[in-house]
A and B are shown apart, each in its own frame.
Chain A
């Protein structure tokens, strides 16, 4: 369900596709990280044998009744607080009635007219620019089971393990104007729900799945008819699916066809979307308040408790990084794209004592490595933050030049054993790398003096030019000295000694 409203929160850059404006709204199902189901005490663990995690309530046996899982509500409150939404004091559970074999009760318990989370917005960066997508609502509901069509000849199997798993459906306004923006939003929301610990974010297991409502229009025209792409469970497919859908809709319109409201599925094998059902066969779900569940009442005191227990949110953390570590706004936002990265950065900073250097390294060398290796920041191959901190401390204390540290870093991540290393192992590798490659900085002035004398003697012309007042000549000399020291000399020290020598 989504309502398309003619008004975007923040005007996006014009991103017309063949003269058409793309309009995208999202409905995301985040599976909540509770141990038990939303209305029963059965486990929510993934991957068990079919129908082993479905109790009498999940099977809808006669006489069973739903009882709300407080943990699911608590997680909805957390999301509401994280996106600055209104948390309804009173919200209502409704029944969405339809027949399907994997829907045991013949209705899904969801929230319809009055959802628990109302409004709010999700902020993120798109090509370095801050963007904001408004949320319409987020509501609690139960998941259905699964129909298994593959393993049964001429029949379908039903696995009700997933039936009753708590979901938070998060619905946006149609605020996104490109597939890139849609993916950036989906990533940001993914980062947020995992950041606040309400969802494990595992997209392969279906813990975080998105439906994209896509339409196109000529700029300034009323909203076009939308088609809903269901169950996008990877960011890659998300972009492909939306791009295909946009192309398809534009082609249809250009060929004089009218877009019909429809639900479509994306097939990663063909890269195409195809219609599952059109508006004509849309069911009448006969929503009505579930008489088995009284209105969900949330006291302000509970909201306050949840707020007090909330982790620091990315935006607040970014602001703090700016103030506390004197980072640029851009760096601070980059560093708070995930909780893991933010925590990593703070540990590096604490170890080396230099936030700016830590930020440069985490966003530069480390991020480049992560992207190249396609691994998350908490992978075993990634030096633990105290190890990177120790490395940067050597730079800070003048033992190692920045460029030398980069070489050492490559040695630290160049390991195939896949073992978990303690700090000591990293330090050992670090010291060995510095020694073997002779990267230690030349701090003894006698060695440097010798190089200095050699260079001065060999570059009489530059010395003469400097004495005539040409600063450029001085820089050339410094460059020669650095080269001669194979980068190990401390440039500041070289400057100082050279000036003394030439004065």
Chain B
């Protein structure tokens, strides 16, 4: 075999898949290369589960299929999944002590769909416990190569957080441990870490990707999505992640699978980009503001038009989200009771004591906090004032978007008010963490597709992401927008300093 000119880990997912298809490199070599690379970068704390034997067996199987002329779109391509997706071959912990060592008897639909295309699983990626967090500081599970739980590190600056909750999914792609990974987004958990780590990520319309096999955080918000270096790679991966799963997920959209690469190459001439004034308030850092401005100017050069729009209830999305998501979580996490699976306290006096101790020991602080908030807002006498009120405002937020989409085709703004903060900087201040979600929450609450596109760096060299929000089912348009931007810029191709290449 002729070795490709570029290092395997510098190839895009599309290019690597092509090399594999042309058998310029074997799936086994590819898997070995990436396993070695992952191991060499275990200091980042990206992986929580790896099993060389499993991965290499999958790679050999992919090679056999390639030899027989397999048409799988991802044959031999190494991927890793956020540890929110359940998998048969690796433990599935959701970053929680509650599920240490838990083995699912089935694979998540998203995992199956990618495996059907021939993807080889390199392992599972760390995340905030039950996807609750914006910094990936909330995992209770020790990463591979670590003997205790530690914050996952941002490859652009190891003293900074990578964002969350899909922090490690972003880290693995940014550090080129993988061409792409899967993540989940409940209130920004794909877009914000993508922004903080300088990678591309998309959360599709709610219902596009099956939630079957995703360990539930907030059912009405959770969505799976890909993270990769380019929009093109995301488009390929998203096409294979999405599709109806009506027999397993009642919230799955009954729409045929779509090829999200189909619009790549469309002109942006005349595209109206709505820029919400509320996304550029006082809390937004100058560097972020400048980078987003520059990106919008770039779009204008590409023929798009800049249109001011208003999303007047943007600020309300924080209280609304932090009522609805914890409410759903408090109920979704009731199944972790020590009876059937997962952690059970070693000593207890009776049933109530077993529940109390099991859940006290099994859940971390942030999870407990949200369970308590959620329990409170659903309680008799508070339901109307909190939960019901939040649902009403959620509807208004969706209506605001529809009003805005009368004047524009897509909405653009920052993903987050700032770049990645230092590890520990906000870990004692949950509210500061919650406030940082302000720009990703509105699209989540409305169920709209949103993505993060690398759009620059701050003075200290930390990445800044541009957020694009489309109307329902407009993923192809968003991906093309990002693709056109990436054809004109090189932010997405830059390598983090301090990472051996």
Contacts and interface: CB of A to CB of B under 8 A. Distances in A.
Interface of A: 56, 59-68, 95, 97, 99, 101, 104-107, 158, 284, 286-288, 290-294
B213 interface: yes
7 contacts: A61-B86, A61-B340, A62-B86, A62-B216, A65-B251, A107-B334, A291-B219
A97 B335 contact: no
B379 A62 contact: no
Q: Give the dominant DSSP class at A's interface.
A: loop
B246 interface: yes
Contacts of A286: 330-331, 375, 378-380, 383
Given A56-B105, A286-B378, A291-B219, A65 B331 contact: no
Contact of B355 (A99, A288, A293): A99
Range class of the B interface residue count = 35 or more
B106 interface: yes
Interface in B360-395: 375, 378-380, 383, 387
B250 A62 contact: no
B378 A65 contact: no
A498 B19 CA distance: 116
B190 interface: no
A60 B211 contact: no
Contacts of B355: 99
Contacts of B108: 63
Given A291-B218, A292-B251, 10 more contacts: A62-B335, A68-B250, A97-B331, A97-B378, A99-B334, A107-B334, A286-B378, A288-B378, A288-B383, A293-B250
Q: Which of B219, B340, B379 has the most CB of A within 10 A?
A: B340
Contacts of B330: 97, 286
Interface in B179-220: 211-216, 218-220
A59 B250 CA distance: 18
A108 to B, nearest CB: 11
Interface in B219-256: 219-220, 246-251
Closest 8 A/B residue pairs (Cβ): A106-B334, A291-B219, A291-B220, A286-B378, A63-B213, A60-B335, A63-B86, A62-B215
A56 B246 CA distance: 17
A184 to B, nearest CB: 36
Contacts of A290: 219
B246 A67 contact: yes
B437 interface: no
B351 to A, nearest CB: 7
B386 to A, nearest CB: 11
Interface in B250-265: 250-251
Nearest to B339: A101
A65 B328 contact: no
B341 A61 contact: yes
Given A101-B339, A288-B383, A62 B331 contact: no
B133 to A, nearest CB: 18
B471 interface: no
Contact of A294 (B94, B105, B251): B251
Interface in B80-121: 85-86, 92, 94, 99, 102, 104-106, 108
B335 A105 contact: yes
Contacts of B85: 63
Contact of B339 (A61, A66, A158, A294): A158
Q: Give the dominant DSSP class at B's interface.
A: loop
Q: Which of A284, A286, A293 has the most CB of B within 10 A?
A: A286
A483 to B, nearest CB: 77
Q: Which of A62, A63, A97 has the most CB of B within 10 A?
A: A62
Contacts of A99: 334, 337, 355
A95 B331 contact: yes
Contacts of B248: 65, 67
B318 interface: no
Contacts of B351: 101
A292 B250 contact: yes
Contact of A284 (B216, B218, B247, B380): B380
Given A286-B375, A291-B328, A67 B334 contact: no
B158 to A, nearest CB: 32
Contacts of B212: 63-65
B327 interface: yes
A276 to B, nearest CB: 16
Contacts of A104: 335, 339-340
B248 to A, nearest CB: 6
A286 B377 CA distance: 9
Nearest to A160: B340
Contact of B331 (A106, A293, A294): A106
A158 B341 CA distance: 13
A294 B215 CA distance: 19
B337 A106 contact: yes
A489 B273 CA distance: 105
Contacts of A67: 246-250
Contacts of A68: 250
A104 B99 CA distance: 16
A65 B335 contact: no
B99 A65 contact: no
A154 to B, nearest CB: 11
Contact of A61 (B94, B104, B337): B104
Given A105-B334, A107-B334, A284 B92 contact: no
Contacts of A287: 378, 383
Contacts of B340: 59-61, 104, 158
Nearest to B222: A291
A286 B383 CA distance: 8
A285 B380 CA distance: 8
A288 B374 CA distance: 11
B211 A65 contact: yes
Contacts of A66: 250
A293 B340 CA distance: 24
Interface string B328-349: 1011011101011100000000
A97 B219 CA distance: 15
Contacts of B328: 291
